Structure 1
Amino acid sequence: MVKNITVKIQDQTFALHPLGGLFWEEKSMLLISDVHLGKVAHFRKFGAAVPRKAIHKNYLLLDQIVSDFEPFQICFLGDLFHSTLNKEWEFFENWVAKTPAEIVLITGNHDIISPHKFENLGIPIFQELIMDGFLLTHHPEEREGYFNFCGHIHPAIKLKGGGRQTLRLACYFKTNNQLIFPAFGAFTGTHTLKPKKGDEVFAIVEDQVVKI
């Protein structure tokens, strides 16, 4: 059973999902970062031995989280696609066609596919969005007066156990004025962050989000 954690930020309610997406309840908006669609096809093209079935994994995960929240709008916080156009674009077109939610994209450094391709699917593209005191970006941003939702980092937390055992878990990483999303994509790496005093870490442990 999937277990979310709900947090309050600036009097707004957000549910943190173990797949790596956040649901803004008041807006009925699902925010997701760093899906990196097309990455499997990109690596296979250059000879990497990645199973073909891995291509479909991200779409199954997207279907699951959309089904769990039934959002009015989906906002991708950058790096929706990993690289240049490849055959996976057809899968994305089919997914958009059957997904009832409105979709918007905030561009990331990997989003190099022509904006016209997205606009033809009815997906508007932005460099950033500002909504009710929240700043939505791909790269982490510090801007006075705003709380920043962002991605790019693929954050993880390293936990230490007995016998020199360590465990690294993808996480949501929250500071006083920022929340960095974990990468949603099933074929992505992570970057370990060290929390400072006052930071909050919400680790993804199988089907749960656990505050560390």
Structure 2
Amino acid sequence: MTQNIIIQDQAFQLHPLGGVFWVEKSLLLISDVHLGKVSHFRKFGAAIPQKAVHKNYMLLDQIVSELQPFQICFLGDLFHSSLNKEWELFENWVARTPAEIILVTGNHDIISPLKFEQLNIAIFPELLIDDFLLTHHPETRVAKFTFCGHIHPAVKLRGLGRQSLRLPCFFKTKNQMILPAFGEFTGTHTLKPTKKDEVFAIVEDTVVKV
């Protein structure tokens, strides 16, 4: 179940797979997929099942099918490292995806821009759309609300006893929202919210404000 929020008079849906859908623009924001990471680690002997390679594409197909965006903007770290055999899988995914695809580059995006241009994917260091800034790294910009990634945010929830649970989350401050990592096998970084922050945790198939 998605969580609907309003930011600067615009409607956004927070999806439990980790994407943010900007309703008025029909724009889906996704961060930190890290495609190719499974193949990268398998190359160096990590015991990760081969079928895990396809998991990210299944999740991408699911969120695109449910939201049917006109555009998809990846907020950096689309690929984990240099080219590997997963690039062909990515080409196939782009070919069957009806939405226009945009990449805001992150620190892991080291593949030549020419490879993306051949797939008609536009690349930008950042994007300004109306009063919103789309970046990979968290950044403060005067009079702009920032959507970003990079951190792989999570929140720790504590029970009545000593139990605790760490969940990926959308982490919102006054002028910024950090998206959770979309990709499998990406890890998380626990953030400690202040009273002014808003945290939307992903609990199974639901986004819950905590």
What is the aligned partner in structure 2 of residue 144 from structure 1?
142
Pair 1:35-2:33 in alignment: yes
**1:89-110 superposed Cα distances (whole Å, 9 cap, x missing partner):** 0000000000000000000000
What is the aligned partner in structure 2 of residue 169 from structure 1?
167
Q: CA deviation at 1:163?
A: 2.6
Pair 1:103-2:105 in alignment: no
Aligned residues: 210
Within the candidate set 178, 181, 185, 2:179 is matched to 181
**1:10-68 superposed Cα distances (whole Å, 9 cap, x missing partner):** 00000000000000000000000000000000000000000000000000000000001
CA distance in 2, matches of 1:162, 1:148: 35
SS in structure 1 of the partner of residue 24 of structure 2: coil
CA distance in 2, matches of 1:131, 1:124: 15
CA distance in 1, matches of 2:184, 2:17: 9
TM-score, length of structure 2 as denominator length: 0.99
CA distance in 2, matches of 1:208, 1:34: 20
Greater Cα shift, 175-184 or 154-163: 154-163
What is the aligned partner in structure 2 of residue 70 from structure 1?
68
CA distance in 1, matches of 2:84, 2:70: 29
**1:150-175 superposed Cα distances (whole Å, 9 cap, x missing partner):** 00000000011133111000000000
**1:56-93 superposed Cα distances (whole Å, 9 cap, x missing partner):** 00000000000011000000000000001000000000
CA distance in 1, matches of 2:3, 2:159: 24
CA distance in 2, matches of 1:131, 1:18: 24
SS in structure 2 of the partner of residue 169 of structure 1: strand
Taking only the aligned residue pairs, the percentage that are identical comes to 76
TM-score, length of structure 1 as denominator length: 0.98
In structure 1, runs of 5+ residues without a counterpart are none
In structure 2, runs of 5+ residues without a counterpart are none
What is the aligned partner in structure 2 of residue 26 from structure 1?
24
CA distance in 2, matches of 1:187, 1:123: 25
Calculate the aligned-residue CA RMSD, in Å.
Answer: 0.4
Q: What is the letter of the counterpart of residue 73 of structure 1?
A: Q
CA distance in 2, matches of 1:38, 1:99: 19
